[in-house]
Each structure stands twice: as structure tokens, then as C-alpha cells.
Structure 1
Amino acid sequence: MDVSLSVWVLTIVGLCALIAVDFFIGGRKPHEVSLKEAGTWTIVWVVLAALFGVGLFLFEGGQPSGEFFAGYITEKSLSVDNLFVFVLIMAKFAVPTIYQQRVLMVGVLIALVLRAVFIAAGAAIISTFSWVFFIFGAFLIWTAWKLIQEARAGEEDEEWEEGRLMKAVERRFPSTNKYHGTKLFIVENGKRLMTPMLLVMLAIGTTDILFALDSIPAIFGLTQDPYIVFTANAFALMGLRQLYFLIGGLLKKLVHLSYGLSVILGFIGVKLVLHALHELGVHVPEISIPVSLGVICAVLVVTTITSLMASKKQAKAEQAEQEKADKENADAS
């Protein structure tokens, strides 16, 4: 797509306007987010993304539209996995429920800015060095294998560990361990102190850098258009806050999510390698966007169904075991 500067400006202004509406309607006043509110806003963001994709179809054709939807669905599915880490960060900082939506809103905005930088850098590298597709493809295949290994080993991150940046911030700036509403700084005994609210916002935003290492190469495997990469990331991230509250209790039931994501990342990795070979003049088949979109959607559907079935089976087994233990205790007494 040949996107002019004016279209870029209008897109960014439009996204900022949507974020402002989201903030003033749903996020301005700290409160506990209900399932109804989270569900409504999740639907709104999905519909807005769908309308944007339809707009691309009407003005630019099927190829850009298909690339956007494939990228959006991929980024959305990867962001669901990121929610596991967000839950751990919230627990680590003991964020009160009424402030969690504000933390996520600011954290996601930080993540969006950082991803824009990553996307700009990635687009510049790709336009100059086509062989970088080999690196991206190999990295995604390696990441897919790593996810499978972790899933088979049953590894789960039970505690989030602060990175070097967060530790440096805490050493550099005096902080308090108590929340003071949504304030980021307070003055106590004549000293300016940083509150946990600012720390957890930085943690959410900067942790996304690690997530971007997977997601940015993945979406560049579906499209090399910076405009589509950016907008797909933006729409996927901006609905993340509501999705956190909507499926927070469902996350533990998605036991096969890592397998599904590994298949998607591996598939895109192979697609990138084939594309790189094609760029070098090697006659190899390339995977089309409709095929990519179909594979991604099919993997997510199958993963969700098998996860819920496995979770239901495990719950029944645990219930039967508990009933057996209760019966044995009753007989013993």
C-alpha cells in the first residue's frame, strides 16, 4: 500500500480519539470492571477492527484487508497469552481491583508507543536487507519449539520477576509501598516519592518489549506493509484492557493455548523462510494470505475447544477425588 503522510496522521489522530473516548467513558473514574462492561467494550473494539478491515477492502482491495485480518487475529491471540503475565504483575504489586483498569490503560499505551518504534525499525531493516526474513523465520520456529517444550514440561510462571529496567528505576527514584489513589508521585516529609501505581504501569508497558520480540516478526511474516502492521497491533492492543477483565477467569482453562500459539508461530516462521527463498530467486511455493488466515483461525478454534474439554475433564477428576477423600474422612470418623 502506498500510504500518504496525511493518511498516517488521520489514522493516528483517529486512534487517539478512540483511546480518549475509551478513557473518558470507561476508564476515567477508578472502579471495578464488571463482566458486562468488559464484554461490551470488547465487542466495541472487535467491531471497530472489523470495520477498519472492511474499509481497507473497499478502498484498497482484498489483499491489504486479508493481511490486516490475519495480522490482527495473530496479534490478538498472542496478546491473550500475554495476559497471563499481566495477571502475575498485578499480583506482584498487589494492585487494588479498582485501579487495575487504569494500570492496564496506561501500560497498554506505553506498549503501543514502544511497538511503533519496533515496527518502524523492522520495516526499515526489511526494506534494506531481505535476508532478515531468514532470521525472523528461524527465530519464530525456535520460539515455537520452545513453547512446545515448556508446555510439555508443564512449566508455568508462578511469579513475575522484575527486569533490569524496573530494578534500576526503583534504585534511582525513592518510592513508597502504599497506593495513593491513581497518583504517580506524592510528597511525604518534604520528599517526592514514586508510588507503586507508576511502577506497575511501567512494568506492564516495558514487559511488552519481550512480547514484541515474538509478535512483530510474526506479523511481518504476514505482511510487510508498515501501515497494516501498525494498525493491526494498535487494534489488538487497545482492546486488551477489557479482554483482561472479560477472560481473566478463563485464562487458566486455556491449557492448550501454548500449543496453538506454537503452531501459529511455527507456521509463520516457515512462511517467512519460503518468502526469503522466493526473494532470492529460488522456486518454492509461497503461502497465500487466505491460507494463512484459514490456518490461524482453525488452530485457534481447535485449541480453544480442546482446552475447554481438557479443563472440564480435569475439573471432574478433581471433584471425584475430593468426594473420595471426603468419604474416607467421614468413614474414619
Structure 2
Amino acid sequence: MREPTPRAQETIGMVDIPTWAWIATIGLILALFALDFVVAVRKPHAVHIREATVWSVFYIAIALLFGLALWMLVGHQAGTEYFAGYIVEKSLSVDNLFVFVIIMTKFAVPDQYQQKVLLFGIAAALVLRAILIVIGAAFINLFSFTFLIFGLILIWTAVQLIRNRDEEPDVEDSFVVRRARKIMPMTTDFHGGRMLAHENGQRVMTPLLLVFVAVGSTDLLFALDSIPAVYGVTKSAFIVFSANAFALLGLRALYFLIEGLLERLVYLSIGLSAILAFIGVKLILQFLHEDVSHSIPHIATPVSLGVILLILVVTTVASLVRVKGHPEEKAKPGSLRKTRKREEEPSESRS
């Protein structure tokens, strides 16, 4: 067990991350969320390809500029770790988008309300991930075997994703969604995009609230994998948080940009499994290198960045080539468990 050392500011290598950097980064993220709120919630509308492209380029540019600023102000190690973490999060977030498409389709969310659901879901995801990042940082400081546990979790996840790569998660049958249905009666009317409404003298939840619950609970499951994955390329809670935040910020626009492309990425589950397995092995080697013997090799962050990029390129190219020869094939997001088959309920028993 490691002795915890209280620090007023975090260090990356030999360089300090001052408190003002945390404040400035969080302020920037909140400002971008406020901008998204004005665009997506106060002015609900269907998003077309041109708008989605502009916003996607904008958020990617912001993320790259932040990384360059970190590189110049803190150092090349911090910059490399940030870019590696951002790419890991961005690639894993594509699987999130797969599930978001399924959720929107299952609950028949009108186009003009999809942005609102995504924005609230992303905001909830960032809060949940911030909590997990703090917990992960505390465990890393306290227990030397945390990286070993993270590595084993990622390898287990990779194996399950490969085993169930042709499955789709049953978003309507998740524990959180089932509980939400029992807590409050539900209406089939979207009531102008509200999440709660009144019908026949009682408060009811609209399908939009249930979709928000499904998106938030699903992203929590993704966070249990992505947080350990980013800790696989950096020990810095600041970099883990900023990489997560900037990857999530662009998710709303990216959803509408690549919605049609997603079904063509037939090897996506295999590629993500390879990334998770690689980072899992990296974490285990890092634990062995630091706590067992320095003679055991470890994988440097620039090598990790190169391997992750190579896997993503090979996965995308192979998927597009496969679909060109077999246009009938459609990609599926994969699942961590076998989807339970449910018999359809009689229509008269449905509420």
C-alpha cells in the first residue's frame, strides 16, 4: 500500500499543474456546455449534415488547441498523454453513439428533440465520469495494485465484447429503465419536448425522460471501461478529466454527422476490443514494472498512441472494404452480455 501524499496541485513528470489550470479548464467546459444548451435546448430543431459538420470541426479544433496549449505550457509528455487519452475516449465514444442510435430508434424520439436528450445525457455522463475519475485517482494513490485491477477489467471487457459482438444491448430492459417505469406513470405524448407533464390530474413522465434515463445509465456502463482505459495512458487525473470532457463535448454533433456511417463499421467491436485488450496488457505490464521488477518492460505512451491509431485505421478501412463487397451487412455495437430474448407482450396488456 502506498503512503498518500497530500498535494495542493497535481504534478505530471516534474511539472506542476496549478489550481488555476483546473479552474480555467472547468470554466471553458462549462462555457461550451452553455453554448450547446442555447443551440440544442432553447432552439430545438432537426440537425442536418452541414450543421453537424461545422460543430464537429469546431469541437475537434477546440480539443486539439487545448492539447497544443498543454504541450507548450506543461511539456511534451503531458501533450502526448492528453492526445492519446483523447483518441482513446473518442474511439470508445463511437460505441456510445451506436447505442444512442438504438435508443433513439427504440423510443421513436422526434428529430427536433434528439439534441436535447443527447445534451442532457452528455452532461450527466461528464458528472458521473468526474466522480469515477476522482475515485480512480484516489485508488491509484493508495493501492499499488490498482493498475493490475484496471488491466484485468479491460481484458475481461474486451473478451466479452468479442464474444457478443453481434448483439445489441437491450436498452428497454435495463435495470434503471425498469425502475423508472415503476416509479412514475408514463405517457406516450412528448408534450412539446418536456420530460414531465400532467395528464388527467396526475404527474407523468414523457418518453423523453425515459430516453434520458436510458442514455445516462448506458453511458455509466461505458464509463466503467473508458476511465480505466484512459488511466492506461496517463496517471494524471487532470488529463483524464480533460480528455473525457473534450471527447464528450463533441459527441452531440458527431452523432448527427456519422449516424449513417455507423452501420458500415462492421468491425468496430473487434477494433475496440483490440484497443481495450492492448491497454489492459499495458496496465498490467506497468504494474509489474513498478511493483515487481524494473526489468519487466513497459509500453511508452507514444507507442500506445501509435498502436491505437493503427487499430482504428485498420478497423475502419477493413469495415468499409467488407461492406463494399457485402452491402447487406450491418454493424452492431456489441454487448457485454448476451441479450436476453423477450417474448412480445400482448398489445392489450401494454400501457
Q: Same fold (TM over 0.5)?
A: yes
Counterpart residue number, 1:175: 186
Partner of 1:297: 309
C-alpha distance 317-28 of structure 1, shift in aligned 2 (>3 A) = closer
Matches within 5 A, 1:291-330: 291-315=303-327
Q: Deviations over 1:210-263 (max 9, x none)?
A: 101111111111111101000100011111111111111111100111111111
Query: How many residue pairs are counted as aligned between the two chains?
Result: 315
Kindly provide the amino acid, as one letter, of the partner of residue 84 in structure 1. Answer: F
Match of 1:181, SS state, is helix
Structural mapping, 1:37-52, within 5 Å: 37-52=51-66
Is the CA contact (8 Å cut-off) linking 1:88 and 1:159 kept in structure 2? no
In the superposition, the TM-score normalised over structure 2's length comes to 0.86
- Tell me which of 181, 193, 200 is aligned to 1:189: 200
* TM score, norm. by length of structure 1: 0.90
Question: Aligned Cα RMSD in Å?
Answer: 1.7
* Residues 317, 296 of structure 1: alpha-carbon distance in 2 compared, 3 angstrom cutoff: closer
Identity of aligned residues (%): 53
Decide which of 17, 31, 36 is 1:3's aligned counterpart: 17
How far is 1:101 from its partner?
1.0
- Residues 185 and 158 from structure 1, CA distance in 2 versus in 1: closer, same or farther, beyond 3 angstroms? closer
Partner of 1:53: 67
Encode CA deviations 1:141-189: one digit per residue, 9 max, x unaligned: 12222222333xxx23174333222222221122212101121222223
Per the TM alignment, residue 316 of structure 1 is displaced from its structure 2 partner at its CA by 8.3
Structure 1 equivalent of residue 234 of structure 2:
223
Q: How many Å separate the matches in 2 of 1:169 and 1:259?
A: 33
Of 86, 107, 132, the match for 1:118: 132
- Residue 238 (structure 1) aligned with residue 249 (structure 2): yes
State how far apart, in whole Å, the 2-side matches of 1:276 and 1:196 are.
Answer: 46
Inter-partner Cα distance in structure 2 for 1:237 and 1:85: 15
In structure 1, distance between residues paired with 2:58 and 2:167: 32
Task: Report runs of 4+ in structure 1 exceeding 3 Å deviation.
Answer: none
Map of 1:57-68 to 2, 5 A cutoff? 57-68=71-82
Judge conservation of contact 2:40–2:119 (CA < 8 Å) in 1.
no
1:211 to 222, 229, 249: 222
Gapped runs of 5+ residues in structure 1?
319-333
Counterpart of 2:212 (choices 201, 206, 225) is 201
Amino acid at match of 2:264: K
- Once residues 73 and 304 of structure 1 are traced to their aligned partners in structure 2, the CA distance between those partners, rounded to angstroms, is 14
Read off the aligned partner of 1:100 and give its amino acid letter: Q
The amino acid of 1:301's aligned partner reads: V
AA paired with 2:81?
E
Alignment partners' CA distance in 2, 1:161 and 1:197: 13
Secondary structure at the counterpart of residue 327 of structure 2: helix
1:73 to 87, 97, 102: 87
CA contact (8 A) 1:254 1:307 kept: yes
> What is the alpha-carbon distance in structure 1 between the residues aligned to residue 123 and residue 169 of structure 2?
26
How far 1:92 moved relative to its partner? Answer: 1.9
Give distance in 2, aligned partners of 1:26 and 1:166.
24
- The answer to whether the 8 Å contact 1:173/1:193 transfers is yes
Instruction: Label 1:180 to 1:316 Cα distance change in 2 as closer, same or farther (>3 A).
Output: closer
Label 1:190 to 1:316 Cα distance change in 2 as closer, same or farther (>3 A).
Answer: closer
Q: How big is each residue's C-alpha offset from its partner over 1:29-56, in whole Å with a ceiling of 9 and x where there is no partner?
A: 1111000111110111100000000000
Q: Please state whether the residue corresponding to 1:284 is helix, strand or coil.
A: coil
Q: 2:279 aligns with which of 260, 265, 268?
A: 268
Gap regions ≥5 residues in structure 2: 1-10, 331-351
Structure 1 partner of 2:7: none
How has the CA–CA distance of structure 1 residues 221 and 317 changed in structure 2, closer, same or farther, with 3 Å as cutoff? closer
Verify the 8 A CA contact 1:92 1:159 in the aligned structure 2: no
Q: Matches of 2:328 and 2:46 in 1, distance apart? A: 31
Partner of 1:258: 269
3-state SS of 1:187 partner: strand
C-alpha distance in structure 2 between counterparts of 1:230 and 1:215, whole Å: 11
* CA distance, structure 2, for counterparts of residue 303 and residue 136 of structure 1: 24
- Note the C-alpha offset of 1:206: 1.8
CA distance in 1, matches of 2:23, 2:203: 37
* Deviation string, structure 1 residues 47-99 (Cα, Å, up to 9, x no partner): 00000000000100000110110000011000101111111111221111111
In structure 2, the CA distance between the partners of 1:54 and 1:158, relative to structure 1 (3 Å rule), is closer
Q: What is the rounded CA distance, in whole Å, between the counterparts of 1:186 and 1:27 in structure 2?
A: 17
Counterpart amino acid of residue 246 in structure 1:
L
Structure 1 residues 200 and 258 mapped into 2: Cα distance closer, same or farther (>3 Å)?
Answer: same
Structure with the bigger percentage of helix: 1
**CA distance in 2 between partners of 1:290 and 1:158 (Å):** 34
